[in-house]
Chain A
């Protein structure tokens, strides 16, 4: 019996998959390779894998792939993602964490050719003793490509979130655009966040930036809402949802409602 430890999925060239494809990972498998053929378009969903697992995404020329990773059930695991982007390809990766007993999640992205773009966003809504550690390496091996990373952490209880995000732009990768943003909101004294951006830029004609903020909700906005009769708890929840609005709205319509509901449900445990 040689159970295939590696799964493989190929999206044929120029195929457009309209409906999101849910990756069903057979028991015993530990890795999965997704190849997006030239000019293909697809949405892939990965749900609550809850065991150590490696994903590999290979985007051929002009392929467009959206990958939605969902950790909405309690679990402890290490996830590894490697992505390679060819000319003109577009990778959107959205990770949603509402239940992390202890999750470590890493991305190793190689932008191999020009005209490609990566958008990576991660939303974490954690409380209790939940832990999430993420590690990102985004290498612009070719110029003329863009990457945008967004991290949002809403933390209550004694939740802990770590993020180390490294962007590497070698000399010669001119006309690179690389951005990283992180925003963390701590709702309790015990919650903690550690964000470490690392920009290594050796090319001179680039647009790169990173920014990270850690804070509490806007007191003036909370008072404004209270003055209209909204309880502080409800106002807090509304402001937290607002923090995630942009990312939730950018989800494929088929998934927006159900994932939005999961996030809202978790927010009720934070406030």
Chain B
């Protein structure tokens, strides 16, 4: 589904990604862990198509397409969803209008007919219920004045609406209280199918108790320096990153 080959990317002339290779198949969950500043969000942004980053070499194929050749909105319509580490507040744009535009674009790209207003509303309610997002919040402007945890729930709510092929969840767990973590994780699990896949970026093994990964990668200084099974996350939790970094030198 996703194949990243020796990806290098810069921002403002500074190299951040220094040769990333990663293969994600349908049905899989990959976790990416790594110290602050190692390039996790950068990788997510480059995959999503943020124009501030320049890809200097390497390739990314997504469902048979050259992903890097596509603008961000077309990547999204193909089924790439980024759960933002810092979801953006958009005053004056209601969640309903925002989702209407987003869902219409995605459905059109999939060759599906437009949803009727009643069907759309039904899906909104179901998606909100999935992550126990207060229905009152849906009536508000996108993320405006939302608490940190509400913003993260709102990301998964949107994921439920858009049914992406590949979701990249960037620290969706940070800012969630213990109950919310369980609820949101269960939501993500319910959205799993044999056809879709997820890349879960996190600092905490705790999340991976709920969303159990097939592979755990360690990103360090712009490279994947180690990959392993879900036990690797447990090792990191107790031992930190030092032992890996030392073994590199």
Contact = CB atoms under 8 A, between A and B. Distances in A.
Contact of B102 (A220, A230, A239): A230
A30 to B, nearest CB: 39
B97 interface: yes
* Most chain B CB atoms below 10 A, which of A227, A242, A245: A227
B92 A241 contact: yes
Interface in B65-124: 71-73, 76-77, 81-82, 84, 87-93, 97-98, 101-102, 105-106, 109
A6 B58 CA distance: 75
Given A228-B162, A229-B105, A234-B101, A242 B92 contact: yes
A225 B77 contact: no
A241 B101 CA distance: 14
- How big is the B interface, by class? 20 to 34
A257 to B, nearest CB: 16
Interface residues of A, number: 21
B158 interface: yes
B109 A229 contact: yes
Given A241-B92, A245-B92, A228 B50 contact: no
B133 interface: no
A238 B73 contact: no
A225 B88 CA distance: 9
A37 B6 CA distance: 77
Contact of A225 (B90, B91, B92): B90
A74 to B, nearest CB: 28
A243 B93 CA distance: 9
A241 B109 CA distance: 25
A226 interface: yes
Given A225-B90, A227-B76, A238 B98 contact: yes
Interface in A230-254: 230-232, 234, 238-239, 241-243, 245-246
B197 interface: no
Nearest to B84: A224
B72 A221 contact: no
Contact of B106 (A226, A229, A238): A229
A223 interface: yes
B48 interface: yes
A71 to B, nearest CB: 23
Contacts of B77: 229
Interface in B45-60: 48-51
* Most chain A CB atoms below 10 A, which of B72, B82, B87, B98: B72
Given A221-B89, A226-B73, A228-B102, 17 more contacts: A218-B90, A223-B72, A224-B84, A224-B142, A226-B76, A227-B73, A227-B81, A228-B101, A229-B109, A230-B102, A231-B73, A238-B93, A241-B92, A241-B93, A242-B92, A242-B141, A243-B92
Interface of B: 48-51, 71-73, 76-77, 81-82, 84, 87-93, 97-98, 101-102, 105-106, 109, 141-142, 158, 162
30 contacts: A221-B88, A221-B89, A221-B90, A224-B84, A224-B87, A224-B88, A224-B142, A226-B71, A226-B72, A226-B76, A227-B48, A228-B98, A228-B101, A228-B105, A228-B162, A229-B102, A229-B106, A229-B109, A230-B98, A230-B101, A231-B73, A232-B71, A238-B101, A239-B90, A239-B92, A239-B93, A242-B91, A242-B92, A242-B93, A246-B92
